[in-house]
Amino acid sequence: MIDCDVHNDWTSAEVLLPYLDANFRDYLKRGEIPGPRGSFPHAHRPWLHPEGFKRTDIVAANDAPPGSDYELMREHLLDRYDVEYAILLGEEAIEVSTLGNPHYASALARAYNDWMIETWLLLDSRFKGSIVVAPQDPTGAAEEIRRVGAHPDIVQVLVSSGSYRPYGDPVYHPIWEAAAEMDLPFAAHLGGQGGLNYNPIGGGPTTFFWETHALLCETGMAHVASLIAHGVFEKWPNLTFVLIECGVAWLPGVLWRLDADYKALRKETPWLKKLPSEYAREHIRMTTQPLEQPKDRQHLWNVLEAIDGKNTLLFSTDYPHWDFDDPTQVHIPPE
Amino acid sequence: MIDCDVHNDWTSAEVLLPYLDANFRDYLKRGEIPGPRGSFPHAHRPWLHPEGFKRTDIVAANDAPPGSDYELMREHLLDRYDVEYAILLGEEAIEVSTLGNPHYASALARAYNDWMIETWLLLDSRFKGSIVVAPQDPTGAAEEIRRVGAHPDIVQVLVSSGSYRPYGDPVYHPIWEAAAEMDLPFAAHLGGQGGLNYNPIGGGPTTFFWETHALLCETGMAHVASLIAHGVFEKWPNLTFVLIECGVAWLPGVLWRLDADYKALRKETPWLKKLPSEYAREHIRMTTQPLEQPKDRQHLWNVLEAIDGKNTLLFSTDYPHWDFDDPTQVHIPPE
C-alpha cells in the first residue's frame, strides 16, 4: 500500500534558514509572519477552518505541529497500516504559489526541497519526496526540477491546485518540459488560495469552510480541462498529472462535456489527436482522500466505473489532517 | 412540453430606450457600446466563441439576430415541437450583473422587463416571462420583483450564474425575501462573466471556449452550496432555485461531499435542520440542455437516478443557440 498524500511538517519555518539563499534569510526571520508558519501566507482567504486542519489526537512533544514528529508518524501511519511507501508533500510549502515575488517564492521552494531531502528522506526508507516549485516562476521552477529531480527518492513535482492560470497554459510549459525531461509526474494538491492566485470557487468568495471544502474540486476541474486542451500530453507523452485531494465524482461529467464539446469545437485545438477522455485515462491520476461518500455506495462505484477507477485512482490518507482516511475504512469496491 | 430556456432577443438594445429612466437614455444611446448590443458588456472575457453563440440556420429578416424574430421562433420551436409553454430569458439582459454601476444596471433591467412584458408576452399565449434583476443592487432588485412580479405571465426571477458572491450570501437576502413574497422561483442562467463578477472558473482565466464551456458548471456548484449553507431554504421554505444551462452530472458529487462535510462541520451552520441533499431535492431544479453525453448512456442515467432526476430536471432547448437540444433527441430514460 502506497500512501500518496502524507504531510511532513516543520516545527517552525525557521528550519529553512540554513537552506535559504542568504539574501532572503532576513526576510524569513524578521519580515512579516516570522515564526512557525513563516512567509507562507496560508490564511489569506475569506474563511477560517472551524476545527483547524490537523487531527487533534496527534499530540507531538513540546506542542510541535502534528506531522512534524517522525516517531508519531511511524507509529500512527507507517507501521500501523503497513505502508510500503509514503509520499511526502510538506505542509505549507506549496503556499509559495501565492506570493507575488517569484524570486522569493522559488528561493523558499528550494530551501524546503533541500531541507526535506536532507532531513525527512534520511529518516525512513519508506519516504519518497515531492519537489515543491513556484509555478509563477516557470523558469526558476524548471531549474529546480533539473537541480534535484534526479534524486532517487524524488517521485514527483508538486504545486498548489490554486493558481493564477489553469496549468495547461503555455506560460507553464517550461515546467512541463523539465518534468518530462526528468520523467517526473506533476502533482497539484489542494491549497494556494489567495494572494497571487485566482479565487478557487467560480461564483466568488465563499463563507464557510464546510461549503468551500465541497467545492475545492473546481481548481482541479480547470487544470484537467486546460492540460488536455493545450495539448500538454501530446507535447510530452510521458507526462502524468496527479490531482491530490480534489475528489473524483466530478470527473466523469467534465470528461463527457469535454468529449461532446470537442466534437463540435475541435478547430480551437487542432493539435489534439484523441478524445479528451482518452488523454485523461492515460495521463491523469487522482488520489482517493477525501473520497465522496454517498448514502448508496453503488452511486460512487458507478462513478469509479465511468473513469476506470481501478487504473486511475491512487490511495491516500492525508495524514495528519482532520479528514484523514483510515485505510481500513475506505469504501471502494473490494476488487 | 415546457421549454425552460428560450432566448428572446432584440433587434437592437435601442428598443429599450422608451422604457429606460430618462436620465440613462443618453448613456445607452451615445455612451460606450451603442447599437445592437448596447450597454451589456457581454464580451469582456478572455476567450471568444469560435462559432458564435447562435444557430447559423436561423436567419431572420434584415439580418436581425436569431431569437429576435417571433415568426421564426414559432415555426422552429413552438409549433414544430408542440411546446405548451416557452419560458423567455432574454439574450443579453442578464449581463447587467457585470456592471459596477448598480443604478444603471437596475434601470436597464427594469427597461428590459417592461419591454419584454409589453412586446413579447403579448405575441403568444405560450410565452411566460422572467424578471431580470441586477443582483449587485439587492434593494433595487427586490423593488423590481415587487413591481412586476404579480404579472400573471411572469414565472421567475432571473440573474446570471456569474456573480460577485455565491447567491446564498446575506447581501442577496432582500432579493430572496421579495421572490418568496411573490412566490416566484429564483433562476440563474449561464453568463455574467467579467466586469464586477468573479472569474467563473476556479483555477483562473481560461483560454478556449471549448474548455470553458465544459467548466461553466463551477458557478452553479458555488450557488448550490451557498444557498443551502446560508439557510436560504429554511428562511424562505417556499423558494425554488433553478439552475439553467449548467449541466447536471456534477451535482451528485457536490451533494455527497456537502452531506459528509456537514456531518463533521455542522457547527458552522447551526440553522440547518436537514441534510444538504434533502434541501437540494426539495428546492433545487436544473434544466437539461446541454445534458452530458457519455458514450455509455447508462452512466448518465446513473447520475439522474442519484439526484432523482425524474422529479428535479426541467426540460430546455436553449433556442436559438448553437448548442440547441432537439426535444426528440434528448437522451434521458424513456420513462
Interface test with B, best of A210, A241, A286 (most B CBs within 10 A): A210
Judge: A204–B163 Cβ closer than 8 Å, yes or no: yes
Residues of A in contact with B305 (CB under 8 A): 299
- Per the CB < 8 A criterion, the answer to whether B170 and B184 are in contact is no
Residues of B in contact with A211 (CB under 8 A): 166, 225-226, 228-229, 258
Specify the pLDDT at position B33: 75
Of A244 and B28, more confident = A244
CA A20, CA A14: separation in Å to the nearest integer?
10
Judge: B208–A268 Cβ closer than 8 Å, yes or no: yes
Judge: B208–A165 Cβ closer than 8 Å, yes or no: no
Residues of chain A with pLDDT > 90: what percent? 83
> What average pLDDT score do residues A48-73 get?
88
pLDDT band with cut points at 50, 70 and 90 for residue B302: very high
Q: Tell me: cis bond preceding B333? Omega within 30 of 0 counts.
A: no
> What average pLDDT score do residues B157-180 get?
97
> What average pLDDT score do residues A75-90 get?
97
Which residue, among A168, A157, A276, A145, has the nearest Cα to A220 in the 3D structure? A168
Which residue, among B172, B162, B224, has the nearest Cα to B196 in the 3D structure? B162
Which secondary structure element, helix H or strand E, spans residue B329, and what is its range? none
Query: Nearest chain A Cα to B289, which residue?
Result: A257
Judge: B202–A218 Cβ closer than 8 Å, yes or no: yes
Specify the pLDDT at position A43: 59
Specify the pLDDT at position B53: 86
Query: Nearest chain A Cα to B295, which residue?
Result: A256
b/e code A295-306 from CB counts within 10 Å (16+ = b) = eeeebbbbbbbb
- Per the CB < 8 A criterion, the answer to whether B83 and B77 are in contact is yes
C-alpha cell of residue B8: 428572446
Interface test with B, best of A97, A163, A215, A297 (most B CBs within 10 A): A215
Which residue, among B117, B55, B81, has the nearest Cα to B2 in the 3D structure? B81
Beta carbons within 8 Å of A201's beta carbon, 6+ residues apart:
A212, A215, A218, B166, B198, B202, B218, B221, B222
Judge: A225–B247 Cβ closer than 8 Å, yes or no: no
pLDDT band with cut points at 50, 70 and 90 for residue A123: very high
Judge: A165–B203 Cβ closer than 8 Å, yes or no: yes
Burial-class residue B242 by CB neighbours within 10 Å (0-12, 13-18, 19+).
buried
> What average pLDDT score do residues A266-294 get?
96
Judge: A225–B206 Cβ closer than 8 Å, yes or no: yes
Q: How far apart are the first and last CA of chain B?
A: 15
Query: Nearest chain B Cα to A322, which residue?
Result: B264
> What average pLDDT score do residues B134-163 get?
98
CA B20, CA B18: separation in Å to the nearest integer?
6
pLDDT tops 90 at residue B91: yes
Interface test with A, best of B196, B207, B296 (most A CBs within 10 A): B207
Residues of B in contact with A213 (CB under 8 A): 257, 261, 265
Neighbours of A271 (CB within 10 A): 9
Amino acid at site A52:
G
Judge: B299–A256 Cβ closer than 8 Å, yes or no: yes
Judge: A268–B226 Cβ closer than 8 Å, yes or no: no
Specify the pLDDT at position A48: 84
Specify the pLDDT at position A334: 80
Specify the pLDDT at position B335: 77
pLDDT band with cut points at 50, 70 and 90 for residue B63: confident
Judge: B250–A254 Cβ closer than 8 Å, yes or no: yes
pLDDT tops 90 at residue B43: no
Helix axes A251-265, A217-229, angle to 10 degrees: 30
Judge: A211–B205 Cβ closer than 8 Å, yes or no: no
Collapsed DSSP state (helix, strand, coil) of residue B122 = helix
Query: Nearest chain A Cα to B264, which residue?
Result: A210
Which among B48-52, B54-58, B154-158 has the top mean pLDDT? Answer: B154-158
Judge: A221–B210 Cβ closer than 8 Å, yes or no: no
Q: Which alpha helices (H) appear in chain B, and where do they start and end?
A: 22-30, 70-73, 102-115, 121-123, 138-148, 173-181, 209-213, 217-229, 232-235, 251-265, 276-283, 297-306, 309-312
Amino acid at site B246:
C
Which residue, among A245, B112, A92, has the nearest Cα to B120 in the 3D structure? B112
β-sheet with B154-160: strand ranges across:
B2-6, B85-88, B127-132, B154-160, B186-189, B241-244, B284-287, B313-314
Interface test with A, best of B161, B215, B271 (most A CBs within 10 A): B215
Collapsed DSSP state (helix, strand, coil) of residue B291 = coil
Residues of A in contact with B249 (CB under 8 A): 252-253, 256-257
pLDDT band with cut points at 50, 70 and 90 for residue B40: confident
Specify the pLDDT at position B44: 66
The strand pairing partners of B285, in sequence order, are B242
Judge: A211–B201 Cβ closer than 8 Å, yes or no: no
CA B22, CA B329: separation in Å to the nearest integer?
47
CA angle A179, A180, A184 (to 5 degrees): 55
Query: What distance in Å separates residue B271's CA from the closest CA in chain A?
Result: 13
Query: Nearest chain B Cα to A296, which residue?
Result: B306
The 10s digit of each residue's pLDDT in A179-210 is 999 999 999 999 999 889 999 999 999 999 99
pLDDT tops 80 at residue A65: yes
Query: What distance in Å separates residue A67's CA from the closest CA in chain B?
Result: 22
Specify the pLDDT at position A56: 86
Minimal Cβ distance to A202: which of B202, B262, B322: B202
Positive or negative torsion for Cα A266, A268, A272, A278: negative
Of A38 and B156, more confident = B156
CA A198, CA A287: separation in Å to the nearest integer?
23
Q: Tell me: cis bond preceding A237? Omega within 30 of 0 counts.
A: no
pLDDT tops 70 at residue B316: yes
pLDDT tops 70 at residue A42: no
DSSP class per residue in B36-86? SS-S--TT-SS---SS-SB-TT---GGGPPTTS-HHHHIIIIIITTT-SEE
> What average pLDDT score do residues B181-187 get?
98
CA A2, CA A300: separation in Å to the nearest integer?
22
Specify the pLDDT at position B306: 94
Which residue, among B331, B303, B302, has the nearest Cα to B315 in the 3D structure? B331
Of A33-37, A235-239, B202-206, where does mean pLDDT reach its minimum?
A: A33-37
Minimal Cβ distance to A252: which of B206, B249, B261: B249
pLDDT tops 90 at residue A304: yes
Residues of B in contact with A217 (CB under 8 A): 253
pLDDT tops 80 at residue A144: yes
C-alpha cell of residue A75: 507509529
Specify the pLDDT at position B36: 77
Query: What distance in Å separates residue A98's CA from the closest CA in chain B?
Result: 13
DSSP class per residue in B167-199? TTSGGGHHHHHHHHHTT--EEEES---STTSPP
CA A213, CA A335: separation in Å to the nearest integer?
29
Name the DSSP class of B280: H
Judge: A249–B247 Cβ closer than 8 Å, yes or no: no
C-alpha cell of residue A258: 469535454
User: What does the mean pLDDT of chain A come to?
Assistant: 94
The 10s digit of each residue's pLDDT in B222-251 is 999 999 999 999 999 999 999 999 999 999
Residues of B in contact with A293 (CB under 8 A): 256, 259-260
Query: What distance in Å separates residue B87's CA from the closest CA in chain A?
Result: 25
Query: Nearest chain B Cα to A164, which residue?
Result: B204
Q: Give the count of Cβ contacts less than 8 A between chain A and B.
A: 255
CA dihedral B138, B143, B144, B145 (to 10 degrees): 90
What is the residue whose three cell numbers read 531549474? Answer: A143
CA B251, CA B286: separation in Å to the nearest integer?
10
Q: How many Å is the Cα radius of gyration of chain B?
A: 19
- Per the CB < 8 A criterion, the answer to whether B49 and B209 are in contact is yes
Judge: A210–B268 Cβ closer than 8 Å, yes or no: yes
Minimal Cβ distance to A268: which of B210, B218, B323: B210
- Per the CB < 8 A criterion, the answer to whether A233 and A223 are in contact is no
pLDDT tops 80 at residue A73: yes
Query: Nearest chain A Cα to B204, which residue?
Result: A165
CA A77, CA B204: separation in Å to the nearest integer?
36
- pTM value is 0.93
3-state secondary structure chain A: CEEEEECCCCCCHHHHHHHCCHHHHHHHHHCCCCCCCCCCCCCCCCCCCCCCCECCCCCCHHHCCCCCCHHHHHHHHHHCCCCCEEEECCCCHHHHHHCCCHHHHHHHHHHHHHHHHHHHHHHCCCEEEEEECCCCCHHHHHHHHHHHCCCCCEEEEEEECCCCCCCCCHHHHHHHHHHHHCCCCEEEECCCCCCCCCCCCCCCCCCCHHHHHCCCHHHHHHHHHHHHHCCHHHHCCCCCEEEECCCCCCHHHHHHHHHHHHHHHHHHCCCCCCCHHHHHHHHEEEECCCCCCCCCHHHHHHHHHHCCHHHHEECCCCECECCCCCHHHCCCCCC
Judge: A166–B221 Cβ closer than 8 Å, yes or no: no
Query: Nearest chain A Cα to B268, which residue?
Result: A208
